[in-house]
Structure 1
Amino acid sequence: MKKVILFAATAAILLSSCASKKELLSCRDENKSLTANLQSTREDLAGKNARITSLEEQLRGMQQALKTSEQKYAKLQESLDKSLSNASQNNISIEKLVDQINESNQYIRHLVEVKSKSDSLNMVLSNNLTRSLSKEELKEVDVQVLKGVVYISLADNMLYKSGSYEINDRAAETLSKIAKIITDYKDYDVLIEGNTDNVPISKTNIRNNWDLSCLRASSVVQALQTKYGVDPKRLTAGGRGEYNPLQSNDTELGKQRNRRTQIIITPKLDEFMELIGEAPETK
């Protein structure tokens, strides 16, 4: 009986020992598996952390790039705003410039019209005077239009007594024709200009050629006023002596040409000065 009990106990111990060994092996296998899983998980976690770090660095780079882009955009916007402002100001300046150019063109056209009208009147005046003079008178009277001015040049031997400033009787008809033209053209001023050669004057009552040229011009002015009714407000008398020669005084013909009285008919200067005063201002 005792032998049976001992056998049973031994068998139980052996069975129990076998069961513990299996469990231990199973635990070891499970532990290996868990360890492997843990290592794999750690490696996977390390990889994900590295990926997260890389993504964070990329994000910081993108944020910095975005900030730089925003700064560049702000500068571009500022530059664009300035450009638009300058363009607007330039447009205003261009508009003002165009207005000034148009105003100047209108003023120039007006001047050209006035000049053309003046030139036309001068030609008509010159032609009327030339037609009114006889062939004999035209030998001693020269009529020209130069730079918008009518010049009537009369020889001294036709107008005056020799070495004198008194007007000849035979000059009366010629002066009357010139006076009629002057009277007809009321918008013109008239300058009478005396000229001499370089031969000194030997009259006791005349000091020199300056005196002689001025006295001759004054004689013509007074004749136009008193005998032919020309408004004296339109008349000016002046003398240039021997200092405005047409030709050399070395020859008798040259001296004869230089001894002359010119009647210079010009448009009223105040009208042109008013036009100049009306000129558009430039800025």
Structure 2
Amino acid sequence: MKKIFLLAATASILLSSCVSKKDYAALEARQKETQDLLNSATVKLNACLEEKASATAKAETLQDQVKDLKEANKGLIENTKDMTVLTTKGAENLEKSLESLKEKDLKISRLQDALNKKDSVTLAIVSSLKKAVGIDDPDIEINVEKGVVFISIADKLLFQSGSYKVTSRAKEVLGKVAKVVNSKPDFECMVEGHTDNVPYDRGVLEDNWDLSVKRATSVVRVLQELGVDPGKLIAAGRSYHVPLVENDTPENRATNRRTRIIVLPKIDQFYDMIEKEMKTLSAEGK
């Protein structure tokens, strides 16, 4: 009886552990996506922790200054009770200095909060793009550097060799990018064209500068056709002057031939946000 029970249990475990290759691949892809998101979140968390430590150090320095000023003020008042050296006006000026230090500390905190909100939006964009475009495609790389989202697309996915006409496959990928960009109205989109160092002189184009700019404008036109506000689009060409690797092998040259889409916050709106915070602080100080 025990032998039968053991055989049944063993069979049950073996059957339950069997997973189809398709399911396993799906699970493995989901695990990779989760790991990538975790890695991005970890990098951002570490950066936030460093910024928090720096802001805390500044706050502690300001607090020490306030404490020293208060102690100095107290000592002066005690030492000059009979001499009337510290005038009422001088005491008021000292209090104003202390209040000014407190206000600066509050401004630092408010601006740090604004930066944290921007970073949160940036991480959300990265997550949306990775889900929409597909992080498993080796020809597409999505990452974030200093609060800016970069989407790097290999040349072979966008254009035929030596051409600046966007392929049908590229339009499918750009459609997904356009959808995410359109969901973030406060962000602009700059398209950078990059080539290798092989001289280019076909047709009306003079050199690699022309080719990189022409490819950037081709991508911009597709994004506009896909509904992206042209006022949010910027086209730029970098020729072969910003390579990822040395242009010494066919493989390396293929790596350097790429189009990079940069999703970044509108600078004027960012400054408007800071100005709004300053006005709020001034109103609260009245």
Query: Partners in 2 of 1:139 and 1:256 — Cα distance?
Result: 13
Relative to the length of structure 1, the TM-score reads 0.65
- Give 5+ residue unaligned stretches, structure 1: 1-76
Question: Structure 1: how far apart are the matches of 2:110 and 2:265?
Answer: 16
Alignment partner of 1:106 is 2:106: yes
Please give the alpha-carbon distance, in whole angstroms, between the structure 2 residues aligned to 1:185 and 1:203.
38
Give the drift of 1:157. Answer: 0.7
Query: Match for 2:122: what amino acid?
Result: N
- In structure 2, do the counterparts of structure 1 residues 93 and 133 end up closer, same or farther at CA, with 3 Å as the change threshold? same
Tell me the SS of whatever aligns to 2:204.
Answer: coil
In the other structure, the counterpart of 2:149 is: 150
Matched letter for residue 205 of structure 1: V
Residues of 2 paired with 1:92 and 1:250: CA distance?
70
- 1:80 paired with 2:78, answer no
Partner of residue 73, structure 2? none
Report the identity percentage. 38
Q: C-alpha displacement at 1:250, in angstroms?
A: 1.6
CA displacement, residues 133-168 of structure 1 (integer Å, 9 cap, x when unaligned)? 2365x2111000110000000111100111111101
Instruction: Determine if contact 2:211/2:239 at 8 Å carries over to the other structure.
Output: yes
Shift of 1:131: 1.4
Residue identity opposite 1:153 in structure 2? S
Select which of 242, 248, 251 maps to 1:250: 248
Alpha carbons of 1:92 and 1:251: their partners in 2 closer, same or farther (altered >3 Å)? farther
Instruction: Name which of 219, 227, 230 aligns with 1:229.
Output: 227
Please say if 1:197 is aligned against 2:196.
yes
The reply on whether 1:125 has 2:125 as its aligned counterpart is yes
Cross-structure match for 2:183: 184
Aligned twin of 2:171: 172
- Cα deviations across residues 19-44 of structure 1 (Å, max 9, x unaligned)? xxxxxxxxxxxxxxxxxxxxxxxxxx
Greater Rg by CA = 1
| Residues 233-257 of structure 1: CA deviation (Å, up to 9, x unaligned) | 0111111111111111122222122
For residue 194 of structure 2, what is the amino acid of its counterpart?
N
SS of the residue corresponding to residue 207 of structure 1 reads coil
> Deviations 1:55-95 (Å, cap 9, x if unpaired)?
xxxxxxxxxxxxxxxxxxxxxx9x923x222xx44433332
**AA partner of residue 80 (structure 1):** M
Q: Which position in structure 2 is the counterpart of 1:219?
A: 218
* 1:272 corresponding residue in structure 2: 270
State the Cα distance separating 1:275 from its structure 2 match: 4.8
Q: Counterpart of 1:99 in 2: which secondary structure?
A: helix
- The separation in 1 between residues aligned to 2:236 and 2:201, in whole angstroms, is 21
Q: In 2, distance between residues paired with 1:147 and 1:266?
A: 10
SS in 2 for 1:151: strand
Q: Match of 2:248, as an amino acid?
A: D
RMSD: 2.2
SS at match of 1:225: helix
**Matched residues in 1 for 2:89 and 2:194: separation?**
61
Distance 2:91 2:179 in 1: 58
Contact kept? 2:181, 2:228, Cα under 8 Å: yes
Unaligned runs of 5+ in 2: 1-79
SS of corresponding position for 2:83: helix
Matches of 1:96 and 1:177 in 2, distance apart? 55
State the secondary structure of the residue aligned to 2:99: helix
